[in-house]
Structure 1
Amino acid sequence: MTKMTLSEELTWRGFINQTTFKDIKELDKEKRTFYHGFDASADSQTIGNLAAMMFDKVFIRHGYKAILLAGGATSLIGDPGGKDIERPMQSEDTILHNVAMAEKQLKQIFREDTFTLVNNLDWIKSMSTIEFLRDVGKYFGMSTLVQRDYIQKRIGDGGSGMSYTEFSYTLLQGYDFLHLYRKYGCTLQLAGSDQWGNSLSGVDLIRKIEGQETHVITLPLIINKATGKKFGKSEEGAIWLDSEKTSSYKFYQFWLNVDDEGVGDYIKIYTLIAPEEFDTLMQEFQANPSDRSAQKYLAYEVTKLVHGEESAQSAKNVTA
């Protein structure tokens, strides 16, 4: 078995979308500290978020240090990216509950990994408005910000407009990166493709204030090939990681019923299968697709990761 480099594995799994690296092989030269932020707008993460967690796991396996961020502060503001209208404002108590649930799920998924868990409310809440405007806001040019695609869509002709609250979201995310750079030496942000612009805010802020180069890598939007829609929290029929919202049986069934066309991609994304094992599995599957051996492997492994081996075995037994 030939061990892949980090850049090779990310490419093989289909995890690279956009990056500030000129050559993705730069990832193989230095073990960095990275951070990845998780939204707390709902009381559970989804399988869309799970793909992001698997992205993180690949870096951890290759010796990178992980900082997982629960967005207590940013979720109070609401991410405007990908939204045609402003999100309803949620209470602080609701967000604090959601953060606690996000942290619980992150600890479950990363139970075999070493990582640092943080909440950006811890460092943003204590900042005064004057501090924020002087220490962060002064480094962001309006002409650059209004060129962001999601802002253009909202403030352009036919758009619903955007409040200053939402407009400031990207500054908060940029400040997160700066804070983590200063405290932990974090030089890499991992994010979903919809966070590309917000992620660049941190890169720009660190360069302007600290004179240091940092980087961003985004993973592609994971699409439900059956519906053509993303695996998001706001999508109808979302598959949640919380068994109270999506039972472990229903969770298992979802993966068992993915179509033949997409199952290979999902296995690469949602499991840590090695290429040699993947090739063997897919050869067996293609020889007898009706047995659904690939779907069975996917359903068991992902259910075991999220809900534990006992729940995975129980769902498998009920299905058999």
Structure 2
Amino acid sequence: MLAAFVEVFDPQHPVSALRVADRPDPATPPGWTVIEVKAASINHHDIWSLRGVGLDAGKLPMVLGCDAAGIDANGREVIVHAVVTDPVDSAAPGRPSVLSERHQGTFAQFLAVPAANLVPKPASLSFAEAACLPTAWLTAYNMLFRQASLSPGDTVLVQGASGGLSTALLALGNAAGFRMWATGRSEDKRSHALALGAQSAFEPGQRLPARVDAVMESVGAATWEHSLKALRPEGTVVVAGATSGYMAQTELGRIFANRLKIVGTAMGSLADLRRLVSFCDVKGIKPHVHSVEPLTNAVRAFQTVLDGDVRGKVVLQP
């Protein structure tokens, strides 16, 4: 089968480590099944894997990709929950992992996955749109509805205005009745945020007209100080990534004086994915897809994500 995979890490030039070639068809342990992949979206997790972060060299070669939508062995259209907990890996039985960490990933014509990880795809979503949900959109759902303790009418600042997670936060938050604000590095990205449902969009670091109830933070070092300053007393910053760097100075006095809460999260449960899919179906929400590329163009698609000039998710189709 055709697949996009890594066999040697390249920390400095990650896209150079990506290979697109034939790989063996997947095996199916007990309780697993094979789906025909119709679409799979790229996440920053895949860029980090090419650098060798979070992926054991002993697992190489590894097919990359966490997210997928496709057709199961019974002909049903399904979405794959990417978090796997199983006893297949005797070195770490029962420890959760994400597809492409301990088990081969989704950037391939076929994918082996626990049968319990499959969620029905609603007819309202295309395969490309559905493939955006399991990582970025599920993380956004978790950030807004599980971690931030928000109520309709609250104000939420999203650091970043155009990537897959940011666009998910804006769409879901707007549908839930939150006042959504966003930051963007260019006028074009800020306009895009407004088109997706943000009530206001600001330059990075810009002083806001009021303090916010929560900040959705995935940029990291470049926006961390601004995130803390933007919060009202007893507000919450929810952290789900650090694309600009993991190390940032923190003014501890501001945290304890204002009783701020800092919460970390990533992705979500299978039950939450089912709720997210239902929410999108009922509300008519469709993930914004920046582009759809054939799997043979995976190198170009990865470079687009790495360059950061995206509006939503980049999707690969085998």
TM-score (norm 1): 0.30
Question: Structure with the greater relative contact order (CA < 8 A, sep ≥ 6): 1 or 2?
Answer: 1
Higher helix fraction: Structure 1 or Structure 2? 1
- Tell me which protein shows more strand as a share of its residues: 2
Task: Please identify the structure whose Cα radius of gyration is greater.
Answer: 1
- Please give the TM-score of this superposition, normalised by the length of structure 2: 0.30
